[in-house]
Structure 1
Amino acid sequence: MCAVVARLAVVDAADADPDYLLSVEDLTAWETEHGQIADGAALLVRTGWSSRWNDRTAYLGTDLTGPEAVPELHFPGIGPEAAQWLVDNRNVAAVGIDTPSIDYGQSSDYRAHVILYSANIVGFENLTNLDRLPATG
């Protein structure tokens, strides 16, 4: 196992609805308040979704399983435009989110994954306790 050490930029999206996409506007608003995202930082998105972990239906947006569940998934994620903005404008080392995927539940093309992973940006999913972290650190 290896350790990951990075400065943090924690974007608060706790009011996110189940189909919320982190936007470029969210990122620039965060920077207006906290300063530019540091080079090599890990950008974490706090939606509060991890509090739903013990309730499968609330966490995933459906009680279906297997292939039938895929079109019924509903949880927030990182929008492809925000992912591309991070690649083009910031030197982040990683992104993370407290939902099942960095792409939102209704994604069928997983663009955030493709954009970020193509730029060698690591993604962490199913994070928890992001409410214990400061906005920067």
Structure 2
Amino acid sequence: MWWSNEQAFFNQDVRGMMHFPGFGVDAAKLLIQERNIAGIGIDTHGVDAGRDTGFTINRLMLEQPRIVLENLTNLEQLPATGIILVIGVLRLRCGSGSPASVVALL
């Protein structure tokens, strides 16, 4: 919705601090430890809340081979369970991320 408006998308204050929602540490730990997830995804700029400059959730998720998906769209159209994600990534050298095509199969 705010993708085409950089100010609204990053929601930066006058000091340059970004404000957008992300996962909390307790929620991420629960998903990892009790649900044994393969990764997480979110429809915002990142899985870490905008004010978290230490990338706490990213680091927690990537301690083991898990995937982190950001800037997803149309999540509200998916059921809570029973889907299969097909994730196509572009493998880049010396990068910290990659564009991905994500398709949900119902």
- Fold shared per TM-score above 0.5: yes
**TM-score of the aligned structures, taking structure 2 as reference length:** 0.69
- Structure 2: runs of 5 or more not aligned: 83-106
Partner in structure 2 of residue 118 of structure 1: 63
Deviations 1:16-64 (A, max 9, x none): xxxxxxxxxxxxxxxxxxxxxxxxxxxxxxxxxxx21122111110288
CA distance in 2, matches of 1:117, 1:96: 13
Q: Supply the RMSD in Å over aligned alpha carbons.
A: 1.8
Instruction: State the aligned residue count.
Output: 82
Instruction: Flag the structure with more relative contact order, 1 or 2, with Cα contacts below 8 A and sequence separation at least 6.
Output: 1
1:91 to 36, 39, 45: 36
Partner in structure 2 of residue 26 of structure 1: none
Match of 1:75, SS state, is: coil
Alignment of 1:1-137 (within 5 A): 51-62=1-12, 69=16, 72-137=17-82
Tell me if the contact between 1:75 and 1:104 (Cα under 8 Å) persists in the aligned partners. yes
Q: Which amino acid aligns with 2:78?
A: L
Relative to 1, partners in 2 of residues 1:53 and 1:63: Cα closer, same or farther, differing over 3 Å? farther
Match of 1:123, SS state, is: strand
Partner in structure 2 of residue 5 of structure 1: none
CA distance in 1, matches of 2:55, 2:30: 16
- Structure 1: runs of 5 or more not aligned: 1-50
**TM-score of the aligned structures, taking structure 1 as reference length:** 0.54
Identity of aligned residues (%): 38
